[in-house]
Structure 1
């Protein structure tokens, strides 16, 4: 009998696992979205609408033998996945790859591709009409969004506020943070660290309307458009009781070195959902997915399992098409030129190839 593998979630990790096992197992990928969303390039798409169509990649070419079911998992057990539409999928192996959610526009909501694309286009129009922008959060999302806005609308005042005393929470070498601060200053982006707002803006995020807010230092800031750039969450309400027991206090699932959910030999978790000690990036999700696929192949055909090695801290952060900086322990610091060259296409062709598009 053919081994049945159900992959829950069609993001960066899920598509890699599904495609890698398509030749050896009966693979079903459960994903509510109409198309894969290349989130890494989403903030660029907000600034440059020519990117909007590019970041939505169809699932049509992903699997040759298996299938992509456009549905939502409402309960996942050790050997089955129940869908919102009613059916239950039996599984020999389950791979959980449901990712994380975050504030728009770093993440899109809803499953309809056209609606998501229109919302990005509407946001571009809002930025076009805005006279000044306030971003809350000086992590990677806030800084990248600030850089995209400042590069696309030169001279448009952009202010970033964060209670942390350092960019990126002080997690990376000072050389990287200093280079990012220098480039942001050149772009005209004002960054206020070590302070927060007394109260949030009184208008909805993403709405163009004048407002003022006061920082904890007593400074009054005026703008007419704002966005939260923090607060990602890991959805896991679909987990059955056996799997929910592996949730850590931060909501992520504890996993073994082989990326099995702790205590369960035939259930794996990849990407943002698991608790591996590393930054949650597309690169890490890809690597984890390759390990999970290799381990399921080993369990099916016999052979040793592969242990996953978490990545050390590394990042390449764009500040508009021509700017940004990055750091990796094996290479050191990247400047604006190297960053623009490496992320100029946001590896779009790489991900299109992964989906068979």
Structure 2
């Protein structure tokens, strides 16, 4: 099966998972993975990585693609996708540096745009300086305001809560305030008791909460006074945007037509993860319009369906697998030693500090993530 398969976006579990699976299962096909950075970023590690240098995450959580492929038919290309030229069958991906990548099947896993310290630069030369600057800003600040904490754009932002816990681990005496635009933390996907439990655990660590309110502008680091929409005045040395993301899909709409995207700029897909008007283009991860919370584990579930369906499509199978959704579950860390988890099966149940510490808080799943990338 001499076919060209191009995968745009090398996120952990999403695009990288599809690339690894297809390279192993289609040894005669040419698999090309395109990503702006030469490594995948384990995004759940960013609060710990950017708060303090007292960890090894910069060395372990930015995972190169050099061990991703287990067979010689896989290739990594560092670059930013400028546009897609879709023909009646197949097409070409055009990169910003002028490179052209022909495809028989295209897989889109472009991920999201983030804000502030979650917005890792696409320029790999700037990443070290970016991380160092974040750490220095946290170190110098005594009064820190985290803006976010719930449902924004296409998904939820856990990062507000995670940042609060990481800051308190390193500097328990620093003043941390969360400003969140709902009356409860997180969003209504999760039960009230779970959300109230998160609030209680943060308050117990001295974190202040300003709920049902907003900060519209993020000032530069340094002593400042911010005023919320409702008029609350907060003194701050550092204001950090930790709000939810928006899909990185501009090139998709520009190339394939605005109708390819929904009102939230998510890619419209069939249950098979094929685009509505392009059966040879699949999409997955944060950027698609599946009705569910946007999480790494969901992207991994998408990856398994997409990989199977690409193979079925190329072999002329009469039907492809449909995605039936995944149970909602989440693990929210509160520093290295605790947090809360929610599992949405059997009526839903909550797990506490011991469980979260064992499964996630200590390592932030870095060993598992590196294993999925071939390390």
Same fold (TM over 0.5): yes
**C-alpha distance after superposition, 1:301-322 (max 9, x if no partner):** 3444211122233211111001
CA shift for structure 1 position 108: 0.8
Residue matched to 1:120: 131
Structural RMSD (CA): 1.8
2: CA distance, partners of 1:287 / 1:8 = 18
Residue matched to 2:82: 74
2: CA distance, partners of 1:218 / 1:354 = 47
Q: Tell me whether 1:177 sits opposite 2:195 in the alignment.
A: yes
Unaligned runs of 5+ in 2: 151-157
Unaligned runs of 5+ in 1: none
Residues 325 and 335 in structure 1, CA contact (< 8 A), matched pair in contact too? yes
- Structure 1 runs of 4+ aligned residues shifted over 6 Å read none
2: CA distance, partners of 1:129 / 1:46 = 13
CA shift for structure 1 position 10: 1.0
Residue matched to 2:61: 55
Q: Tell me whether 1:87 sits opposite 2:135 in the alignment.
A: no
Residue matched to 1:262: 276
2: CA distance, partners of 1:177 / 1:200 = 26
Partner of 2:274, secondary structure, is coil
Residue matched to 2:243: 230
Residue matched to 1:192: 210
2: CA distance, partners of 1:47 / 1:227 = 11
Residue matched to 1:338: 355
Residue matched to 1:29: 33
2:45 pairs with 37, 41, 45, which one? Answer: 41
Residues 183 and 323 in structure 1, CA contact (< 8 A), matched pair in contact too? no
Residues 316 and 339 in structure 1, CA contact (< 8 A), matched pair in contact too? yes
1: CA distance, partners of 2:167 / 2:35 = 31
Residues 6 and 95 in structure 1, CA contact (< 8 A), matched pair in contact too? yes
CA shift for structure 1 position 111: 2.8
Residue matched to 2:154: none
Residue matched to 2:259: 245
- Report the CA distance shift for 1:71/1:182 in structure 2 as closer, same or farther (over 3 A): same
2: CA distance, partners of 1:241 / 1:60 = 30
1: CA distance, partners of 2:258 / 2:74 = 28
Q: Tell me whether 1:2 sits opposite 2:2 in the alignment.
A: yes
CA shift for structure 1 position 244: 4.1
1: CA distance, partners of 2:272 / 2:209 = 41
CA shift for structure 1 position 347: 1.9
- Give the paired residue count: 351
- Report the CA distance shift for 1:277/1:165 in structure 2 as closer, same or farther (over 3 A): same
Residue matched to 1:18: 19
CA shift for structure 1 position 231: 4.7
Q: Tell me whether 1:111 sits opposite 2:123 in the alignment.
A: yes
Partner of 1:265, secondary structure, is strand
2: CA distance, partners of 1:200 / 1:247 = 28
Farther-moved stretch of structure 1 (219-228 vs 346-355): 346-355
Farther-moved stretch of structure 1 (182-191 vs 81-90): 81-90
CA shift for structure 1 position 122: 2.3
Structure 2 length-normalised TM: 0.89
1: CA distance, partners of 2:31 / 2:258 = 24
CA shift for structure 1 position 214: 2.7
Residues 109 and 283 in structure 2, CA contact (< 8 A), matched pair in contact too? yes
